[in-house]
Structure 1
Amino acid sequence: MKSIIISFLIFTTAIVHAQQSYLNGKVVSNGNPILANLTIKENNKTISTNLNGEYSLKTKPGIYTIIVSAVGYKNQETKLMFSNNDIRTLNFELKEDILGLDKVVVTATRGYLNRKKAPVIVTVTDAKVLEATQAVSLSEGLNFQPGLRMETNCQNCGTSEVKMNGLGGSYSQILIDSRPIFSALNSVYGLDQIPANIIKQIEVVRGGGSALYGSNAIAGTINIITKDPSENSFAIGSNLALIDGNTQDKTITFNGTVINEDYDTGIALFGMKRNRGAYDADNDGFTEITEMENTSFGLKAFTRPTNRKKITAEFNANNEYRRGGNNLHLLPFLADVTEQIESTVVSGGLTYEYLSPNKKDNYSVYASTSVSKNKNFYGGLAGNTPTEENIKESIEGFGKSKDITFVTGTQYAHKFDKFLNNTGTFTGGIEYKYNDIDDRKENPAFIPILQTTHILGIYAQQEWVINNKLRVLGGLRGDIHNLAEEFVVFNPRANILYSINKNLRWRTSYAKGFRAPQIYGEDVHAGLAAGEISRIRNADGLKSETSHSFLTSLDWTKELTNGDFSLVTELFYTKLNNAFALEQGTQTAPDSGIFEWIRSNSTGAKVYGANIELKYAPNIKWLFQAGGTLQRSLYNDKVEWSEDELDQATKRFNKTPNVYANFVATYAPTKTFQNNLSGVFTGPMYVQHLAGFIPKDKLEKSPSFFELNWKSSYRFFIDDHKHTYFEVSGGIQNIFNAYQKDFDQGVDRDVTYIYGPQRPRTFFVGLKFGI
């Protein structure tokens, strides 16, 4: 009996083995091996190639669709029929995805999805564009997408914000690797503190995103995706820029990645050291661009205990010193005007992901935190004689700020094989965010800003693939926000994607959003105007701001013989209820030196317009992309922003042009020689100009600006295998010196009266070594 059982097992094993089919081969591009993934569509089984681009997979007899994908290359799909004991060799030649048409994005649905299949339009700025435009930090790379525009807000401290579709920075949710840890305090200075060399890509979803990401995602969402460990490499670079030909801006960066042979454990390290001198455009002794020293370090590591489990850890530390005003060589309280900030930001996060054996269920648990501290000084002698009494009063300009942010949550996604007679994906989760801000000054007349925010959000969305052409997405999020009037704030969304044909896709969406009446935001900045410190307080009974956002777009792509073409056109309309507006107040107390603005609810506002994005690559040597926006941003009723000039009340949003655009053109005759031409156009806009240097408040109309930039780089390979290289680069930013010409001067200047390009004509050279 025992021998019969053994014989039966051997016979059964032989049959099973005989019913296996085998496929092997290589994945290459232009003869070079590619690290790629091969997925069998029918059972969702995925394998990866080795360092030589080789793969080997086995499956049961049948007809299967093999999808080959790799970062930076177009997907390739092949249908094969396997018979019993079939052994085949098949090599794949992948084409470069020059325009990134097959990029995988996460911001649209909180899950990995090919951007062509995403029901929500997602535009992407990748690391190549950041390098082509000589972006050192995040703030310098956000101008190159339609609907986005960077704005500098202060000559003394260099604060900046990114505006989306005509709405201010506080209307956009900024995420770091899909986590909302970019706090209100970070948003004031943080755009300069994120080094460009850590960024893999910037994903932008325009239109309301509160249904997924909660408060502040009224205008849209900007997701900063950092670089993952993908190969063993090391690079160190240096850059020297001369602002207006004389003020130095020096930067040193490094990136290092280590990953094991099985590609299941790796770590990426990065760092940046930046030292920028102060720049005075009109030689009045006061800064237009602040002095700045910045040191950043961070890492991102992952391990896969099994092929269905992944643990990711991140850590970032940033230390920055910046100072503006005059007499920078003196102690801050001995200068006439000083804004000085010494800040430290430490953040980190941990994520655990699990994929079920049938690859239909995906679970993730995450926690992230960020702690920001700064020592600051706002004030000075304001032109007064440095007597003991005046110095004692000036010293009261010192202060401290602290911001603690903590985010934790869990998310579950399930893929349905059958959902209403077709397929679909459900995504749901719970997220809790805690934020505590403590901002205070030595000046007893300055009321400390103490704000603690608790937000508990529960969200769910269902994607329904009705057929090959039509996808529908519906979602709802409920937030319990301790600063909102409602106990639960509900925000729904609805999206439709219809593929008219292989190349043309139509999308339309509706989303509701909200912004709670928090105290601290981008506009709460202790700026100096006419020798007075300004601060903002919320009006009594300030209500939450809500929005209704509508978008519709056409996305047309065409694969060419050796290149690609893409055109996206988008119409948007956002209605704001109880829109926040700033109105001029008075001094908080007689002779306090503190001037107050009041944030109140207006009768509402509306923002509407059109975005267009064009990308064209006739071949691998040429790449051209351009984007533009036509829009209007208007309050329903005029806002009395000035008590001096009531007749200048206006419906227009401050510093918001109706037209702005950008382009990047790249010519690379060889892989080693890159030439880039880029430009940013900013149309005329209305700018509030406060009295001090001028006798009365005035609403000014700025001229239009066109910044033209050029950069070339050449890479020398040191070894025959082309692994070790030395790169030289150089160029000019803002070639035509399109820069503001009418800055205020002296102690009584309005430092918020700054608009247009971030810097004047700047020359730069760079060196980079990599292995």
Structure 2
Amino acid sequence: MKTICSIILLFSFWIINAQQSFLKGKVESNGTPVLANISIKGINKTVGTDLDGNYSLQTTLGTHVITIAAIGYKAQEVELTFTENKIQTKNFNLKEDILGLEKVVVTATRGYLNRKKTPVIVTVTDAKILEATQAVSLSEGLNFQPGLRMETNCQNCGTSEVKMNGLGGSYSQILIDSRPIFSALNSVYGLDQIPANIIKQIEVVRGGGSALYGSNAIAGTINIITKDPSENSFTIGSNLALIDGTTQDKTITFNGTIINEDFDTGIALFGMKRNRGSYDADNDGFTEITELENTSFGLKAFTRPTDRKKITAEFNANNEYRRGGNNLNVLPFLADVTEQIESTVVSGGLTYEYLSPTLKDNYSVYASTSVSNNNNFYGGLAGNTATDENIKESIEGFGNSKDITFVTGTQYAHKFDQFLNNTGTFTGGVEYKYNDIDDRKENPDFEPILQTTHILGIYGQQEWVVNNRLRFLGGLRGDIHNLADEFVVLNPRVNILYSIHKNLRWRTSYAKGFRAPQIYGEDVHAGLAAGEISRIRNADGLKSETSHSFLTSLDWTKELAHGDFSLVTEIFHTQLNNAFALEQGTEIAPNSGIFEWIRSNSSGAKVYGVNIEVKYAPNIQWLFQAGATIQRSLYNDKVEWSEDELDQATREFNKTPNVYANFVATYAPTKTFQNNLSGVFTGPMHVQHLAGFIPNDKLEKSPSFFELNWKSSYQFYLDNHKHTYFEVSGGIQNIFHAYQSDFDQGADRDVTYIYGPQRPRTFFLGLKFGI
């Protein structure tokens, strides 16, 4: 009996193996091996190539569609028929996706989708652009998309914000790997604290996104996608920049990735150490660019227990010291003016994803948190003699800010084979966000800012593929929060994608958004005016700000024999209801030195305009991209921003130009020799100028600026496989020294009177080693 069973088992094993077939070959691009994934469409089976581009794939008999995908290359699909006991050889030559037209994005629908097929237009800045423009941190790389503009808000502390479609930073939802853990306190300095070397790509969705991402996604959504472990590698680099040829800005970065042979477990490590000196543009002894020391470390790891399960873990830690004002070598309370911030931010997250055996259902559960602690000093002697009484009063400028953010949620997606006579995808989920702010000062006249926020969001959206040309997307989110007398805030959105032909796509959308009345934000941050602390409070009965956003766009792409062309034209209009506006209040207490601004609801505002983005690559040597925005940002009624000059009430948004643009041009005669020219244009704008250095408040009109940058780099390969290299780079940022020339001076200056490019002419030299 045992013998018979053994024979049956051996026969069954032979039958099973006899039904298998094999595919092997090589994946290259113009003779260079490519690290690619080869998968069978409809079957959850994927293999990767080795360092020489070779692969081997086992499959069942029959006809299958084989997909070849690699980062930076256009995907290929081929239909092959497999017969019993036959080994097929198939080599593939991939074309480079020079313009990134076929990138997979997640921000549009909270699911992975080719950007050409998303009903929501998504623009992408990848790591190549960050390198080409010499971006050290996130804040230095956000100028190179249409509709985006970076702005510095303070000479003493260097706070910055990104404006989208003419709206301030608090109108945009910033996500880290699709999670809204970028808190109110992080928004003040956080854009400088995210190293560029951890970023895989920056996905931007302009227009209301509250239907998916909740509060603050009125102007749009910026999703920072960090680098995944994809291959074994290690790089270390250093950069030395000389601001205006004198002030040193030194940076050391490293990236390391380890992944196993089965590509089912990996970890990516990164780090950055930055040390920047202070810069004084007008030699008055007071900073225009702060002294800064920043240390960052983090990791991103994943494991796949099975082919259909994935666990991802992330951790990031950042410690930063920055100081501005004057007399930086003395204790902060002995200087005339000091803003000193010592901050620590620790964040992390865990995500579990599961794909059903039918490949139609996708489940995910996630939790992320961020804890920030900020010891600060705002104040100084303000030009007074250093008597015991004045020093005691100055010491009261010390304070502490704490921020805890926690986000958890679950998401479910289902693909319908039949939905209204075609296919479709449903995505729904529940998300809870907790945020606690505790901001205190030693000054007894200053009331602590204490606010705890609870937001529970429930969302759902349905995508309907009507036919090969037409797609509909409808979504609705309900948010319950504790910041206003509102039971639930409902935010719908509708998106349509129509492919006029294979090269031309038309999209249109409507979205409602909301912004909860939080106290803390960019505009709450302490600013010094005449050496005095100014703070902001919410008016009694302040209501949530809501918006109605309309967009329509044409997206035209053309695949050339050796390159690509892309043109996107987008018209936008956003109507704000109960728009937040700042009105000048009075001194909080007599002789306290603390003044306040009051955030109240205005009658409303509107922002409208057009974004244009063009990309052209005639061949692999040349790449050109440019973006431009023409817009207006207006309150419905004039806002009295100053009690000194009531006749200067204006409908114009502060520091918001009507025209701004950017471009990046790359010439690479070989892959080892890269040359990049980039530029940012900022049109004239109205700038509020507060009294102090000047006798009375005044509404100024700034000049226009054109900032031109150049960078070249060359790689020396140290092995035959071209995996070990040494790179030298150098260049000049802001070649023509387009920089503000009318800064206030002295202890009484208005430190918020700063506009234009982030830095003057700067020379830099970089070295990098990689394996």
**Pairwise TM-score range, normalised by the shorter structure:** over 0.9
Deviations, residues 292-311 of structure 1 (Å, cap 9, x unaligned): 11111111111111111111
- Structure 1 partner of 2:621: 621
- Structure 1 partner of 2:274: 274
- Structure 1 partner of 2:53: 53
- Structure 2 partner of 1:437: 437
Q: Which moved more, 1:197-206 or 1:77-86?
A: 77-86
Deviations, residues 562-615 of structure 1 (Å, cap 9, x unaligned): 111111110001000000000111111111101111100000000000001111
Amino acid at match of 2:171: Y
Aligned residues: 771
Alignment of 1:277-676 (within 5 A): 277-676=277-676
Amino acid at match of 1:239: N
With over 3 angstroms needed to count, the CA separation of the structure-2 counterparts of 1:4 and 1:259, relative to structure 1, is closer
- Structure 1 partner of 2:80: 80
Deviations, residues 682-713 of structure 1 (Å, cap 9, x unaligned): 00000000011111111000000000000011
Q: Distance in 2 between matches of 1:521 and 1:160?
A: 11
Q: Distance in 1 between matches of 2:377 and 2:51?
A: 54
Q: Distance in 1 between matches of 2:532 and 2:465?
A: 59
Q: Distance in 2 between matches of 1:324 and 1:752?
A: 13
Q: Which moved more, 1:33-42 or 1:596-605?
A: 33-42
With over 3 angstroms needed to count, the CA separation of the structure-2 counterparts of 1:40 and 1:741, relative to structure 1, is same
Shift of 1:67: 2.0
Asked if 1 retains the 8 angstrom alpha-carbon contact of 2:534 and 2:596, the reply is yes
Alignment of 1:706-725 (within 5 A): 706-725=706-725
Amino acid at match of 1:215: S
TM-score between both structures, scaled by the size of structure 1: 0.98
Deviations, residues 697-732 of structure 1 (Å, cap 9, x unaligned): 110000000000000111112223322211111100
Q: Distance in 1 between matches of 2:497 and 2:380?
A: 57
Shift of 1:119: 1.1
Q: Distance in 1 between matches of 2:111 and 2:147?
A: 24
Shift of 1:53: 2.6
With over 3 angstroms needed to count, the CA separation of the structure-2 counterparts of 1:373 and 1:4, relative to structure 1, is closer
Shift of 1:257: 1.0
With over 3 angstroms needed to count, the CA separation of the structure-2 counterparts of 1:5 and 1:542, relative to structure 1, is same
Asked if 2 retains the 8 angstrom alpha-carbon contact of 1:321 and 1:341, the reply is yes
Shift of 1:12: 6.8
Q: Distance in 2 between matches of 1:674 and 1:765?
A: 14
Q: Distance in 2 between matches of 1:32 and 1:79?
A: 24
Q: Distance in 1 between matches of 2:466 and 2:45?
A: 24
Deviations, residues 54-109 of structure 1 (Å, cap 9, x unaligned): 33334444443222111110011222334555542111111111111111111011
Amino acid at match of 2:461: Q
Asked if 1 retains the 8 angstrom alpha-carbon contact of 2:455 and 2:482, the reply is yes
Q: Distance in 2 between matches of 1:540 and 1:634?
A: 24
Asked if 1 retains the 8 angstrom alpha-carbon contact of 2:673 and 2:712, the reply is yes
Unpaired runs of at least 5, structure 1:
none
Q: Distance in 1 between matches of 2:364 and 2:282?
A: 54
With over 3 angstroms needed to count, the CA separation of the structure-2 counterparts of 1:488 and 1:179, relative to structure 1, is same
Q: Distance in 2 between matches of 1:305 and 1:8?
A: 32
Asked if 1 retains the 8 angstrom alpha-carbon contact of 2:48 and 2:263, the reply is no
Q: Distance in 2 between matches of 1:534 and 1:428?
A: 43
- Structure 1 partner of 2:27: 27
Q: Distance in 2 between matches of 1:349 and 1:2?
A: 54
Amino acid at match of 2:347: S
- Structure 2 partner of 1:258: 258
Asked if 1 retains the 8 angstrom alpha-carbon contact of 2:44 and 2:307, the reply is no
Q: Distance in 1 between matches of 2:485 and 2:241?
A: 50
TM-score between both structures, scaled by the size of structure 2: 0.98
Shift of 1:10: 7.0
Q: Distance in 2 between matches of 1:764 and 1:113?
A: 38
Shift of 1:415: 1.1
SS at 2:212 equivalent: helix
Q: Distance in 2 between matches of 1:719 and 1:82?
A: 39
Asked if 2 retains the 8 angstrom alpha-carbon contact of 1:660 and 1:683, the reply is yes
Amino acid at match of 1:225: I
Shift of 1:19: 4.7
- Structure 1 partner of 2:694: 694
Deviations, residues 285-328 of structure 1 (Å, cap 9, x unaligned): 11100111111111111111111111111111111111111111
Q: Which moved more, 1:178-187 or 1:16-25?
A: 16-25
Asked if 2 retains the 8 angstrom alpha-carbon contact of 1:432 and 1:457, the reply is yes
Quick one: percent identity of the two aligned structures?
87
Q: Distance in 2 between matches of 1:672 and 1:59?
A: 39
Amino acid at match of 2:415: K
Q: Distance in 2 between matches of 1:155 and 1:6?
A: 82
Q: Distance in 1 between matches of 2:158 and 2:642?
A: 24
- Structure 1 partner of 2:151: 151
Q: Which moved more, 1:481-490 or 1:216-225?
A: 481-490
Q: Distance in 2 between matches of 1:16 and 1:284?
A: 83
SS at 2:333 equivalent: helix
Shift of 1:197: 0.6
Unpaired runs of at least 5, structure 2:
none
Asked if 2 retains the 8 angstrom alpha-carbon contact of 1:485 and 1:544, the reply is no
SS at 1:543 equivalent: coil
Asked if 2 retains the 8 angstrom alpha-carbon contact of 1:123 and 1:204, the reply is yes
Q: Distance in 2 between matches of 1:361 and 1:49?
A: 28
Amino acid at match of 1:104: V
Shift of 1:40: 2.9
Q: Distance in 1 between matches of 2:441 and 2:360?
A: 54
With over 3 angstroms needed to count, the CA separation of the structure-2 counterparts of 1:770 and 1:87, relative to structure 1, is closer
- Structure 2 partner of 1:767: 767
Q: Distance in 1 between matches of 2:24 and 2:293?
A: 53
With over 3 angstroms needed to count, the CA separation of the structure-2 counterparts of 1:249 and 1:360, relative to structure 1, is same
Shift of 1:15: 5.9
Q: Distance in 1 between matches of 2:4 and 2:264?
A: 43
- Structure 2 partner of 1:164: 164
Amino acid at match of 1:561: A
Q: Distance in 1 between matches of 2:596 and 2:373?
A: 24
Q: Distance in 1 between matches of 2:714 and 2:528?
A: 45
Shift of 1:500: 1.2
Asked if 2 retains the 8 angstrom alpha-carbon contact of 1:63 and 1:79, the reply is yes
Pairwise CA RMSD of aligned residues? Answer: 1.6
Q: Distance in 1 between matches of 2:244 and 2:634?
A: 36
Q: Distance in 2 between matches of 1:266 and 1:5?
A: 42
Q: Distance in 2 between matches of 1:675 and 1:242?
A: 20
Shift of 1:402: 0.3
Amino acid at match of 2:94: L
SS at 2:117 equivalent: coil
Q: Distance in 2 between matches of 1:270 and 1:701?
A: 43
Q: Distance in 2 between matches of 1:75 and 1:413?
A: 24
Amino acid at match of 1:664: V
SS at 2:429 equivalent: strand
Q: Distance in 2 between matches of 1:678 and 1:516?
A: 37
Deviations, residues 459-505 of structure 1 (Å, cap 9, x unaligned): 11111111111111111111111113211111111111111111111
SS at 1:324 equivalent: strand
Deviations, residues 176-218 of structure 1 (Å, cap 9, x unaligned): 0111000000000000000001111100000001011000000
